[in-house]
Structure 1
Amino acid sequence: MKKFLAFMLVLTMTLSLAACAKPAPAAVPETPQEEKGFKDTIVFAPNTDAASLDPHVQNDTTSEQVVKMLYNTLLKFGPNGEITGDLADSWEVSEDQKTWTFKLKEGVKFHNGTEMTAESVKGTYDRAMDPSNGLVVGEIVKMFEKVEVVDKYKVSITTKEPYGAMMALMCNMSLAIMDPAYIEKYGMDLGSNAESINGTGPYKVVSWTRDEELVLESHDDYYGDKALTKKVVYRPIPEAAARVIALETGEVDAIQGVPANEVPRLESIDGLSVYKAKSIGQRLFRFGCNDSIVGNTKVRQALIYAVDRQAIIDSLFPGLSYPSTAPLAPVTWGYANLGEIKQDKEKAKQLLAEAGYPNGFKTKIVTTERYAKGVELAEIIASQLKEVGVEAEIQVMEWSAFLQTIDGITAKEFDAPLFIMGAGPSMMDADGGLRGLYTTTLTGKNDRNYGFYSNKEVDELIDAGMKETDPEKRKELYKRAQEILYLEDPAGIWLFDQLTNLAHSSKLKDVTVSPISTITFEKATIEK
């Protein structure tokens, strides 16, 4: 197992907010928290509600961070980047590197009291593997050949080929273990309301009023360290200014997505703190490669040199981001530093001329306000593109409508030559950050390859990286793939890597802020 652990030593440490405030108590109190000077409820304001709490369906940070409070995976990232057991006590891989056997913890209970067993794992993964479900998670497990119950507490997973990122994949919340009875009962409605959620995590859902309030309560039969705060309330506030006011007035204890211009002021207010940390998160504008003009490689090369990334950061996100240097952020395993792409307007014009557009062309940028400063980003990029002769109309879409355009439609239907996107793999491995997103779609629809990007060499490199178990060889394969995606045949305009940020009451201690940008409260307390 050592060679698999070695290559997964990434910056995945759990980050404590204790440094921002007074230290938390050294030991878990033996009496109720409120009797020890702590509140029994933490109120948190994200910018939006969870879209789905079905591990197989959730595909955004807001949903995933709630799922992490409710469910568990077979393995997890430890505080120093090592991979450790979660629901699995131990594991081993066969000599041919294709069959993984996991010994499960005994006595783990779902929220309804049902015991988690090998049948739970099989039921979860069978659902993910079933192509008739049409789940995006199917791409993540496409290398799985079969899942078998060895005995009540032992399960084996056989892959079609050796899979170098298997241990990282087992940490992915998209593969959190669910109750098969709930899968059968709720089908694709699982995770859509409080009644349909039954995990093994430290918290359980007690109520959920869409776009208003999601209430979690500690799971008394949790097999790990018990949550220190009884309730966590998620109260989504879409407007950034309103979130800040809610924090300042004490209506909420913490907010996510702090506007960059507000950070210095909030840091100066007594009783408030702002926490920042590097993450897997990136912001880019992807290319719709089905477009008759943007599908031209030289056009895409021209556009990546037309943009001034530092000017965008200085204008919109000072102190909360830094220029991207690859299609992966530095905290992701397999990242290759390819350098910042500096604006070069003359080079952009030359490439446009070589592509057959010496006088530029007209195009469209699609954006949504769901992403921070999404409209402003599009406006600045349109302005910069105009300097090299490209006139871009801006189309602003509601989040729900935008999601429908990047999931399950054909190239003929897709109409977004340039479109805003976030990026960052929850499994913190290059396989999760590249495969599916930039490999040729086999269905003809944009299930994960939103912009219909297709490059034969990239396909081959990413496929080889998936099957390779030698970490150094995997890195070389992914480096070459990133060179193509980022510079030679670009799939998008990578703008900046993001810092996860959290503004909170200084009385709030030990919130877990992970490099995958999720914020969880399983260890948190808040003083009265």
Structure 2
Amino acid sequence: MFKFKRKTILFLVMSLLMSSALLGCTEKESATTPKEGTEKAEKSITLSWPRDIGTMNPHAYNPSQLIAQSMIYEPLISYKEGGKLAPHLAESWSISKDGKEYTFKLRQNVKFSDGTPFNAAIVKKNFDAVMKNPKLHSWLGVINVLDKTEAVNDLTFKMTLKKPYYPTLQDLSLVRPVRFLGEAGFPDDGDTSKGVKKPVGTGPWMLTDYKKDEYAVFTRNPNYWRESPKIEKVTIKIIPDAETRVMAFEKGELDLIYGEGVISMDSFNQLKESGKYVTGLSQPVGTRSLLLNTSNEKLADLKVRLALQHGFNKQAMVEGITHGLEEKADNILSKNFPYTNIEAEPIEYNVDKATAYLEEAGWKLPPGKTVREKNGQPLELELIYDKTDPIQKAMAETIQAEWTTIGVKLNITGVELTVQIKRRKAGEFDLDFWYNYGAPYDPHSFINVVAEKGWGVSEAHSRLPMKQELDQQVNDALASTDETKRQELYGSILKTLQEQSVIVPVSYIKKTVVYQKTVKDFIFPANRDEHPFYGIDTNK
């Protein structure tokens, strides 16, 4: 019995000691651990995008997406509202009297996201990487005239041109290909056309998590040289289908739907009219056009091109599909760009004129048939479109239906954007949806791509009788230092392009945005391709 009592007392003492120890730990823990609900919530937003963000190579094009590239990589000069050019990674610049030398003073104390310094040497290395593949970037005028670059000292970079090129600074404000990769991102041979080791930039964001075709997560760059963004994390979910995006947004899985053609106009208006969300439209950012390939014998005839343009009701189509949120376009470039204020006679919807043009061109409608023929060949064409773009799809279907009334059989084919671009560059299309580049590219990049081979647009104009003269006018305009002469050249070039109808303007397009009411301070960027996230805040 004594043994039992002794054991019991010992057990009670040990239990008391353990309880005291546990109590001490608990008190200590409660003193150092914040109470539940007192932690500051991470500020983040989630949006959708129709396709994977790509490899995040600053010197490459599709499949890398501009919105994501601009989050990581920055330019020497930034493009602001009204076409103003402002210092960015370069704090100032000077231009020689002959217009050939550009000297940039770089901003001090700028670092890449891995902490390495941004300086003239790395600027030159990036330019060298781009210039290893000039054909890849020949659409951009400054690449074609760049002679040499020099790191004068740690914070001075100089570029010398072969000849004057007036839009040099505008070209340097673009999202690609002249933005800057850190040393750690370069492949061993320095040729970024083959890929990059990792995306290292000076921008406000870093790519920190990624699963191809599913999502990409960006977090703030801790070494960013400007004030940090208000939000700490941006998640981009890859949702190819427009209606699925809307459903995810309504369920609260997305904070934001933003971009061009990322949501049907029906859905946009429904969300707007619900009163539950905030919606917005940008100023016109470009022209939605049809590109007609004159290397196709049928489309080499101006009468056929004019007939096709007269053969669909552009006004009704644009209003019906976009519900008035886009405007019918009569000019291939809207008049809010420099040098584009030209008067163009609209080619209005007129079935009788369309029919007359086709008859004059020798395309006859055989008895009992619905498709015109010439020399035993049917007037049959194919229009390709981006299958993730609901507006392109709806317009393709409308044009297909309307052209049946003038005896034209139009086959429409939805393809991935990468395939669409590949086919355009290879000239493997009859008709294609095409957009001018918008700010800050135009009008200089627009006329350059009309003259410069390799992108499908120059080749689409190849059968024009005045193509050689047109190309010379483009070269003269881009090199001109005489403002009056430059205006005259632009007027002549744009007038010729309007009359030849290889590019058929359809509508002036705008970016759309729909966001939850927890999102604040959204502003459309002045540069069409820049991301809009730097100034955004959220109170969720």
Settle same-fold status: TM greater than 0.5.
yes
The equivalent residue for 1:118 is: 120
Which residue of 450, 456, 460 corresponds with 1:451?
A: 460
Q: Is the 8 A contact 2:60 2:193 kept in 1?
A: no
- Cα distance, 1:446 vs structure 2: 4.1
Which residue of 393, 410, 426 corresponds with 2:411?
A: 393
| C-alpha separation in 2, matches of 1:302 and 1:402 | 25
The equivalent residue for 1:290 is: 295
- Listed one character per residue, the Cα deviations across residues 298-323 of structure 1 (whole Å, up to 9, x for unaligned) are 32222222222112112211132111
Residue 347 in structure 1 maps to residue 365 in structure 2: no
> Cα gap change, 1:429/1:285 in structure 2, threshold over 3 Å: closer, same or farther?
closer
Q: Secondary structure at the match of 1:327?
A: coil
> Cα gap change, 1:425/1:151 in structure 2, threshold over 3 Å: closer, same or farther?
same
> Cα gap change, 1:418/1:435 in structure 2, threshold over 3 Å: closer, same or farther?
same
Q: Is the 8 A contact 1:385 1:392 kept in 2?
A: yes
After the TM superposition, which residues 502-513 of structure 1 pair with which residues of structure 2 at under 5 Å, given as runs?
502-513=513-524
- Listed one character per residue, the Cα deviations across residues 257-314 of structure 1 (whole Å, up to 9, x for unaligned) are 2311122321233441111012323222211121011122232222222222112112
Q: Secondary structure at the match of 1:374?
A: helix
The equivalent residue for 1:499 is: 510
> Cα gap change, 1:500/1:188 in structure 2, threshold over 3 Å: closer, same or farther?
farther
Larger relative contact order (Cα-Cα within 8 Å, sequence gap ≥ 6):
1
The equivalent residue for 2:243 is: 241
| C-alpha separation in 1, matches of 2:240 and 2:191 | 27
| C-alpha separation in 2, matches of 1:499 and 1:263 | 13
> Cα gap change, 1:241/1:325 in structure 2, threshold over 3 Å: closer, same or farther?
same
Report how many aligned residue pairs link the two structures: 483
> Cα gap change, 1:235/1:93 in structure 2, threshold over 3 Å: closer, same or farther?
same
- Listed one character per residue, the Cα deviations across residues 197-241 of structure 1 (whole Å, up to 9, x for unaligned) are 011101111122111111111112111121111111111211111
Structure 1 regions of 5+ residues with no counterpart?
1-33
| C-alpha separation in 1, matches of 2:138 and 2:522 | 30
Q: Is the 8 A contact 2:139 2:445 kept in 1?
A: no
After the TM superposition, which residues 112-511 of structure 1 pair with which residues of structure 2 at under 5 Å, given as runs?
112-131=114-133, 134-135=136-137, 141-174=143-176, 175-180=178-183, 182-185=185-188, 196-256=198-258, 257-337=262-342, 338=344, 340-359=346-365, 360=372, 361-407=379-425, 409=426, 414-436=427-449, 438-439=450-451, 441=453, 445-446=454-455, 449=458, 451=460, 453=462, 455-486=467-498, 488-511=499-522
> Cα gap change, 1:467/1:181 in structure 2, threshold over 3 Å: closer, same or farther?
farther
Residue 41 in structure 1 maps to residue 50 in structure 2: no
> Cα gap change, 1:428/1:400 in structure 2, threshold over 3 Å: closer, same or farther?
closer
| C-alpha separation in 1, matches of 2:294 and 2:305 | 9
- Cα distance, 1:490 vs structure 2: 1.9
| C-alpha separation in 2, matches of 1:81 and 1:139 | 18
> Cα gap change, 1:483/1:137 in structure 2, threshold over 3 Å: closer, same or farther?
closer
The equivalent residue for 2:17 is: none
Q: Is the 8 A contact 1:280 1:330 kept in 2?
A: no
After the TM superposition, which of the residue ranges 490-499 and 72-81 deviates more from structure 2? Answer: 72-81
Q: Secondary structure at the match of 2:510?
A: strand
| C-alpha separation in 2, matches of 1:181 and 1:51 | 19
| C-alpha separation in 1, matches of 2:392 and 2:137 | 27
| C-alpha separation in 2, matches of 1:138 and 1:249 | 42
Q: Is the 8 A contact 1:426 1:432 kept in 2?
A: no
- 1:424 alignment partner AA: Y
> Cα gap change, 1:98/1:132 in structure 2, threshold over 3 Å: closer, same or farther?
closer
> Cα gap change, 1:421/1:178 in structure 2, threshold over 3 Å: closer, same or farther?
same
The equivalent residue for 1:12 is: none
Give the percent of matched residue pairs that are identical in Structure 1 and Structure 2: 22
Q: Is the 8 A contact 1:287 1:417 kept in 2?
A: yes
Q: Is the 8 A contact 1:45 1:252 kept in 2?
A: yes
| C-alpha separation in 1, matches of 2:190 and 2:328 | 42
The equivalent residue for 1:107 is: 109
| C-alpha separation in 2, matches of 1:304 and 1:231 | 47
TM norm structure 1 = 0.84
Q: Secondary structure at the match of 1:262?
A: helix
Q: Secondary structure at the match of 2:435?
A: strand
- Cα distance, 1:339 vs structure 2: 5.5
> Cα gap change, 1:456/1:258 in structure 2, threshold over 3 Å: closer, same or farther?
same
- Cα distance, 1:345 vs structure 2: 2.3
The equivalent residue for 1:77 is: 79
> Cα gap change, 1:55/1:307 in structure 2, threshold over 3 Å: closer, same or farther?
farther
| C-alpha separation in 2, matches of 1:120 and 1:286 | 39
- Cα distance, 1:85 vs structure 2: 0.5
- 1:288 alignment partner AA: N
Structure (1 or 2) with the larger CA radius of gyration: 2
| C-alpha separation in 2, matches of 1:158 and 1:36 | 54
Structure 2 regions of 5+ residues with no counterpart?
1-36, 366-371, 373-378
> Cα gap change, 1:84/1:134 in structure 2, threshold over 3 Å: closer, same or farther?
closer
> Cα gap change, 1:115/1:191 in structure 2, threshold over 3 Å: closer, same or farther?
farther
> Cα gap change, 1:450/1:68 in structure 2, threshold over 3 Å: closer, same or farther?
farther
Give the CA RMSD over aligned residues.
2.7
> Cα gap change, 1:128/1:182 in structure 2, threshold over 3 Å: closer, same or farther?
same
Q: Is the 8 A contact 2:241 2:388 kept in 1?
A: no
- Listed one character per residue, the Cα deviations across residues 41-78 of structure 1 (whole Å, up to 9, x for unaligned) are 11111222223422222358x81111111111111123
- Cα distance, 1:391 vs structure 2: 1.9
> Cα gap change, 1:139/1:152 in structure 2, threshold over 3 Å: closer, same or farther?
same
- 1:504 alignment partner AA: Y
